Each structure stands twice: as C-alpha cells, then as structure tokens.
Structure 1
Amino acid sequence: MGRIAVVGAGMAAMAVAARLATGGHEVVVHERAETYGGAVGRYTRDGFAFDTGPGLLVLPAVYRDLFVKTGREPLEECVGLAQVDPAGRHLFADGTGVSLPNASRSGVIGALDAAFGPGGGERWSDVLVRAREVWEGVRRPLLEEPAGDPGPLARDPYPGRRRGLRRRPPYLAEVAADELGGDPRAAALLEWYALAYGLDPRTAPAAAAVLPYLEQSFGLWYVRGGMRALADALHARCRARKVEFRFGSEVAGVEVRGGEVQGLRFTDGSTAAADVVAASVPLPYLPQETLPAATGDPLTGARDEPGRCTVHVALRGSRPAGTAHRTVVHAADRGAALDWVFGRGRAEVPAADALTVGVLRPDDPAGRPDDGHEAVTVTATVPRHATAGARHGAGRDWSADRFADAFAERMLQVAERAVPGLRERELWREVRTPLDVERETGAAGGSVPVPSLPGAGGALLRPPNRTALKGLYFLGGWAHPGGGLPHAGMSAAIVADLVAGGPGGSR
C-alpha cells in the first residue's frame, strides 16, 4: 500500500482518489479552496440554485465505469440521470428555429430537413458519418490510453471531400462551408460545437466534427439537482473509500530527491511525505522543472484558451410547458463573433448580432423556490481574463470598470430571443466572468481547457500523464486527454492504472 497525495479536489482528482483508494492505497487530497468539485460548483440564493460549471453531461458511461469500479452502488443509485429531449433548440438570425432530438439520427435528419429544406438533414448526417470514422480511429489512443507518440495524432483523420489541389486537411469552418450545401444556418450549427468547447472553427481541425457526433450518438444528460449532485456523489464515494480531504491546503511544490517524488511542500512551509503525487491543478502551480514536454505553452499546456461568461438570472413566473432545456441563439455575423472571442482589440462590448449565447432552462424543482419562479443560466464563450503571462496580448481585462455588467446586459438582450420578456421577469442576476473563475479555481485567466483533438499538427494534444519524475503524474483538463467532464474521468482511469503498474486506462 502506497501513500498517495492528490493535488486539487476537482472531478478528475476525486475520480483518481476513489480509484486508488479502492486499490488499497492511502490517499490524501489537498485542495487550496474550501470545498471540492473544482469548476463543478453551485450558486444558491433566495431559493434559486444554479450550476456554475457545465450544465449537461456527455458520455455518462465514463462515470458509470468509475462508480462500478469503486463501490457497490452504481451511478444511477447515487444520482438521478435524465436524458434531455430535445437535446437542444437552435435559433438563427433569419428567424429559423430547429429542435434536435436527443440521440436520434433519423430524428435529427427529419428536423433539419424541415428547418433547412430537403437534403439539409442528409448533408448533416454525412458529416457525422465521417466524424464517426474519426471517433473509431482515434478513440483509444486519444482518450483511453496514455499519451504515446504524438505523430499519428498530429494528422487530421477526417475523411472529408477534397477539392482541387488542397494540400492540407480542411478546417472545421471549411467543412461547414463545403459539405453542408452552402447553408449559413447549417454552417453556424456545426461551427457552434467548436465554439462551445472554446475552439475557433476557422482554425480547428475538421476532426472537431467528432464533438457533435458524440452528443448526437451517445445522448445528452442532465443530473437531477444540478451537476453539483455528481460532484457530491463522487465526494461521498471518496469518503466511503476512506480518502482524506484537506481543504485550505495550498501546494507550493513537489519534494524531489534522486529523481523521485518524496512528497509535497505547502505555502505555509509545511511538508507531507508521499510515494506518489497525482496533480490535477493547472500546471503552473508546480515547479517548471517537473513539467513534461508539451505542445503549446510548456507551462500550462494551454494556448490562451478562452473562458466563459455566465449570467444566472432569477425570474418571476413559471417555466412554460415544453420549453427546451438548452437553446442556442446564433450570431447573425459569425465572423465578427469569432473575431471578438479569438482576435484582438476587444475593448468594446460586441454588438448583439456578433454574439452567440446558450440558454439553459432546466425543469428541476431543486433549482427554484417554487413553480411560480424559474432559474435561467445564460452563457457565452469569451476571451480569457488578461494576465501578465498571456501571450500576444491575448484576453481582455474583465476587471475594467462596468465592462462585465455591460457585457452581461448584452448577453441577456440576445437571450431574450429564447426567453421572451426575460428582463421584465428578472428579479436579480449574478454575473460570473473568467476573472471570477480564476479566483475560485486557480485556472490561469479563467480559461476553460479544451478537449484533446487529432490534427492541427498536434497543437490540441495535452502533456502526457506520466512525467520524467518517478511518482509524479498529471491529470485533469490541462493534461492528457484534455478538458471536459468525460475527459476528467478518462484521465483518472489512465493515471490510476499507471500507478497500479498497468499500461494505463480503464480495464
């Protein structure tokens, strides 16, 4: 039995702690904040409750596997899971609206044919068929196994149509333009999946088409009581496996002797011995000499990835029957919208036609004081908070006077297309910017890590989980296989198996 120190108490950290403790190890989790869950938080006020992180779950099989491997009670006995149907409603600038059924290929084809005209659904389906080839080809090396030779994954495996003498694989935006019949609504739909994950579709590899494929093939799920209930269940599983949590325990570095991990040192000057350190915090919190080689920024494995601005709105009046759980309001000027997020010169609040927002309206009594009120969350992908370490002027200053309030007002203006009369119904709002995320989670600039993807010359791959130091492992969004709730669980499975002497991965 070994002494294992886990740095951070987010979802990946708790997942690896539960797996390792089940294997008989002595596991202590060190978290700088005063609670667990990382980005999977909950904001409550006046009987309203809102998820502060992801509001929906893709690939719940990852957490089913985790709960099966760490205890007797399966996931569904610990949390209430429900498929959302429709998976989402999309509103476009020309007034078109379309609701996409959850995990139904034929249903999606029919819905898009009705909204975009005959052939619209089949063209969309053809793109996802090609995305399935990507998934089947890269699933194991990209997500379920330790990072290996990055060479094969540096090439984009998307089998798209080739035109003329193109010498490079297409970007996702080119797939949207070339393979969806020239319909700007269909293009906006495909591009949105990249934008929602913090990727610029104009530079994201065509393999990013795997993102809508995963959602539409495996379904989209809501955790009753909010996504925080999943973090609560995982924390309870850790406690049942005798994992010790030490909150307010801020790590200053790793103790190393003879090329091997000896333990941790903390900002208060104390130390703790450990045979293994599994770190899920953003990598800058560890000494540079301990970091593995990585594409992108060697300190963080990040490439100035954007963050999220979230507005939680408490509304008077009940949620209308038949309301979609998630609605996306697409920008009329997609180019300007992407320029504002990924370009420079972001001093001004973008115009309403240059902003895409997501609107979450869960039908969950746990989120409202009574049926005469409604809790709504509006989100947008935005530039990260500008920090001294941001390269090339990336990001913007979210602490600038009244900018966050003005941007939130613009978000709600756009969201009223999905929630008519939203601002007349408003009781109060809570605005959370990338600066708030940075303060609460320690993520530099409040960036949200994107998932690993093949292609782009390997630029979207993450640092490996195993490091050059014996006993030091990385996991979570800033390490292989990247950001997202499923990826957190996958990275934990890889690291737990590596620590146990296996090849890595869930077996």
Structure 2
Amino acid sequence: MARIAVIGAGMGAMAAAARLAVAGHRVAVYERAATYGGAVGRFERDGFAFDTGPGLLHLPAVQRDLFVKTGKEPLEQCVELVPVDPASRHVFADGTGVSLPNASRAGVVSALDEALEAGAGERWGEFLGRARDAWDRSRRPLLEEPLPADPSPFERDPYPAQGRGFLRRGARTLAEVGAWELRDPRLAALLEGHALSYGLDPRTAPASAAVFAYMEQTFGSWYVRGGIRALADALYERCLARKVEFTFEAEVTDVLEKAGRACGIELAGGQRVEADFVVAGAPVPALYRDQVVHWERQDEWPRMQSAARTGRVTVCLALRGARPGDAVHRTVVHTTDRDGELDALAAGRLCDRPTVTVLRPDDASLRPDDAHEAITVTATVPAGGAWSSENLWGAGAQAGAFADRMVEAAARAVPELRDRLLWREVRTPADTFRETGAYRVPAPALAGADGAWLPAANRSPLPGLYFAGGWSHPGGGLAHAGMSGALVAGLIVEGDDFRGSQ
C-alpha cells in the first residue's frame, strides 16, 4: 500500500484519488480552497443557485466508468442525469434560428434543411462523417492512452483533407473547414461555435477541432439535476466512502524531492507530508509559476497547451416570472460581427458583440419558487496577461460593461429579459484565478497545429510526480479531466506496463 498525496480537489484529482483508493492505496488530498470541485463551482443567493463552471455533461460514459470502478452504486444512483432535448437552439447573425435534437444525426440534418435551405443538412451530415474519421483516428491514442515520450505523431492533423485549389490543399484550420466544406455562414457559425465554447479561435484552431461537433451530436448533451455541482458532490462522497482523506484550506507550497524523485509535499505552514507518489491536480502552469515544482529554466517546463489564452465570463441572472414551458435549455446566440469578435479575441481585448451561451435549466432546486427563474450566460474572452489579468479584469467597470453586452445578446433568446431581471452576478477570469489558480481555461487535447493543443503529460519530468486535471493529458473539460484521473491511476497502479484505459 503506497502513500499518495494529492494536490487539489478538482474533478480530475478526485477521479484519480477515488481510483487509487480502490486499488488499496492510502490517499490524502490537500486543497487550498475551502471546498472541492475546482472549476465546478456554485454561486447561491436569495434562493437562487447557479453553476459557475460547466453547465452540461458530454461523454457521460467517462463518469459512468468512474463510478462503476469505484463502488457499488452506479452514476445514475448518485445523480439524476437528464438528456437535454433539444440539445441546443442556435440564433444566427441574420436572425435565423434552428433547434437541434439530442444525439440524432438524422434529426439534425432534417432540422438544418428545414430552417436554412435544402442541402444544408446534407452538407452538415457529410462534414460529420469526416469529423467521425478524425475522431476514430485520434480517440484511442489521444484520449485513452498515456501521452508518449515522443508526441510528434500528434503534430499532424487527423482530419481528412478535402483537396482545394491548384495545390489541392486540405483545410488546415476549423475556419477553413467551415468556409470550404459547409459553404453557408450559418453552418460555419454552428461549427465555429463549438470551438469557441472551448476557448479556441476557429481561425487558428486545427481542423481536428471538428471532433467537438461530432462528440456532442453523437454522444449527446446531459444535465445533472441540481446542476453540475451535484456531480462534484457525488464524486466527493464517493472519495469519502473509499476512505480518501481531505484537508481544506491547506495550500501546498513545495513538492519535496529525494534521490531524484518526489517524496512528499510541504504546506504553507511548514508542515511536511511524506508520500510515495504525488498527484498534482492544480493547474500545471500555476505549479511552475509558483515554484511548487522546482525549475531553473523555462525550457524545463512540460508541454502545457501553449496556445491556450482564453477564459470565460459568466453572468448569473435572477429573474422574476416563471420559466416558460417552451423554453429551450441551451441557446447559443451567435455574434453579429464574427470577424470583430475573433479579432478582439486574438488581440487580447473585449469585443462589442460577443457570442453567448444561455442556459435555462428547468430545475426547481435552482430557484426560490416557480415564480422565478435562474439563468446563466457565458462568453469566451481573453484571459489577460501570461500570469495576471489585471489589464482586463482588475477594473469592475470594464467587466460590468462587457456583461451588459452579454445580457443584450442573451435577450435575443430570452424575451423581456431586462424587464424580468432582479439582479445579476458577474464572474470573470479573475474569479477563476482565485478559485483554481489559473485565469485561462484549458481545452481538450487536439492533434495538429504542430502540437500547440497538447497538454502536459501525466508523467511529470520529476519521477514520482503525476499531473491530473484539465491542464494535463488529455486536456480540459469534465470528460477529459475524468480521463486524466483514470490515466494517472493506471500509471501508478500498473507502472510501465500500463497501456491505457479499458
């Protein structure tokens, strides 16, 4: 039985902790905040409650596997999973709207043909076929196996090339896929919206980012009754049931080394904890920035999604008046100035007309009574400087003005929004930093773009230290963080013989 110290109580770290405890190890988690969950937070006021991190669950098979492997009660006995149908409604720049059914390719094709034009659904369906090819080529090696010591094969894009022009060059970016293959600005906006929601600029994101659309429309969108925070609650309870120990408000300031390998951690008060293995669930950039993991030259840092430069603004809206029975759970209101939004994102400034995602869950536990409604509105924004976002988020007036523009966009999906508004809470990348240690939000691992979207490997450069969570392989998002926990547990339990999740 090994002693394992876990830094942080985020979703990836807790997934690793639960699996390692089941394998017979003694696991202790040290979290600098007062609670667990990392980016999966919750804001409550006046009987309203809001998810401050992700609001929907994709690839639920990852969470189902975690709960099956760590206890007798399956996921559905611990939380109530509700399929979201329609999966989303999209309001495009020209005012056209379309509602897309959940996990139904034929239904999506039909909806697009009816809402846009004959042939639009067929083009989207053909694109999904190519996205499936990219998924099939990369799923196992990129998501379910440890990142190899030589990741250069992932620098090549798995999206199948569709020859164009004199040189017959295929699309290299997601924006080129939309322009060349979909040939409709609304279909292109639908595609690019998936990348933007993960914090990627479609003009620089590799064509392989097409897998985001395939994943969602193939495996569906799910809501956890009580909010995604309820999933964090269930995972925490599962860890406790497996005898994982938690210490909150315990900041780890140093990973201890002995004979060239990790041998424990040191806390802010000077207390030292010995361990045979250390699992770091905190953001990898923060670990190196704060010298928790020692380094002398920046080229000693592991790969950690060098292209990730964005964060999120979330506006929590408390509304008077009942939620209409025909309200859609998720509506994406696309910008009316696509180039302006992407130019601003690339330049590190706030745009005038953001794309926003409006979530309106039909969940009585999130509102004081049925005469009120709780809504969240999110937008992807520049995170700010390399280590600080004071240039964007230090002044409340700037954040408030941007939130005004977000609410204005959301009003296209929620009639009489301003008349119904009781109050709002604005959360920026500065809040993300306070709660997680990073302003930026990592994206899922992607092949292509010369490896710019590959996260840190789960094996760190220091033997005995492993990375779990969104900044480590296979990247950000609830499902991918869960995969990282499975990979770390496999590497510790099986060692060099581990070849990937089953």
- With normalisation by structure 1, the TM-score equals 0.94
Tell me the residue number matched to 2:359.
360
Identify unmatched segments of 5+ residues in structure 1: none
- 1:61 partner amino acid: A
Q: Write the mapping of 1:32-431 to structure 2, written as runs, cut at 5 A.
A: 32-148=32-148, 149-164=150-165, 165-166=167-168, 169-180=171-182, 182-283=183-284, 284-286=286-288, 287=291, 298=302, 300-344=304-348, 346=349, 350-351=351-352, 354-386=353-385, 389=387, 396-431=391-426
Matched-pair contact (CA < 8 Å) for 1:312–1:375: yes
What does the per-residue CA deviation read over 1:371-414, in whole Å, with 9 as the maximum and x for residues that have no partner? 11000100000110335x46xxx994211251111111111011
- For 1:235 and 1:113, the matched residues in 2 are separated by 45
What does the per-residue CA deviation read over 1:451-471, in whole Å, with 9 as the maximum and x for residues that have no partner? 100110111111211123221
The alignment partner of 1:402 has SS state of: helix
Matched-pair contact (CA < 8 Å) for 2:276–2:464: yes
- 1:436 partner amino acid: D
Percentage of identical aligned residues: 60
- Structure 1 residues 33, 234: closer, same or farther in 2, change over 3 A? same
- For 2:490 and 2:294, the matched residues in 1 are separated by 21
Matched-pair contact (CA < 8 Å) for 2:305–2:453: no
CA root-mean-square deviation: 2.0
Answer with 299-308 or 363-372: which moved more: 299-308
The alignment partner of 1:89 has SS state of: strand
Matched-pair contact (CA < 8 Å) for 2:308–2:441: no
Q: For residue 303 of structure 1, report the CA deviation from its aligned partner.
A: 3.2
- For 2:501 and 2:294, the matched residues in 1 are separated by 26
**Paired residue for 2:465, among 462, 467, 472?**
472
Answer with 302-311 or 472-481: which moved more: 302-311
| Number of aligned residue pairs | 495
- Structure 1 residues 297, 193: closer, same or farther in 2, change over 3 A? farther
- 2:257 partner amino acid: V
- For 2:293 and 2:429, the matched residues in 1 are separated by 28
Q: Does 1:462 align with 2:455?
A: yes
Q: For residue 299 of structure 1, report the CA deviation from its aligned partner.
A: 7.8
- For 2:297 and 2:385, the matched residues in 1 are separated by 25
Identify unmatched segments of 5+ residues in structure 2: none
Answer with 285-294 or 495-504: which moved more: 285-294
- 1:37 partner amino acid: G
Q: For residue 343 of structure 1, report the CA deviation from its aligned partner.
A: 1.8
The alignment partner of 2:177 has SS state of: helix
- For 2:351 and 2:301, the matched residues in 1 are separated by 28
Matched-pair contact (CA < 8 Å) for 1:384–1:395: no
What does the per-residue CA deviation read over 1:38-60, in whole Å, with 9 as the maximum and x for residues that have no partner? 01111111111100100000000
- For 2:293 and 2:49, the matched residues in 1 are separated by 42
- For 1:150 and 1:169, the matched residues in 2 are separated by 22
- For 1:292 and 1:358, the matched residues in 2 are separated by 42
- 2:342 partner amino acid: L
- For 1:467 and 1:308, the matched residues in 2 are separated by 28
- 1:434 partner amino acid: P
- Structure 1 residues 405, 303: closer, same or farther in 2, change over 3 A? same
Matched-pair contact (CA < 8 Å) for 1:449–1:483: yes
Q: For residue 292 of structure 1, report the CA deviation from its aligned partner.
A: 13
- For 2:73 and 2:297, the matched residues in 1 are separated by 39
- Structure 1 residues 191, 41: closer, same or farther in 2, change over 3 A? same
- For 1:85 and 1:311, the matched residues in 2 are separated by 23
- Structure 1 residues 293, 18: closer, same or farther in 2, change over 3 A? farther
- 2:226 partner amino acid: G
What does the per-residue CA deviation read over 1:137-159, in whole Å, with 9 as the maximum and x for residues that have no partner? 11111000100131221100111
Q: For residue 266 of structure 1, report the CA deviation from its aligned partner.
A: 1.5
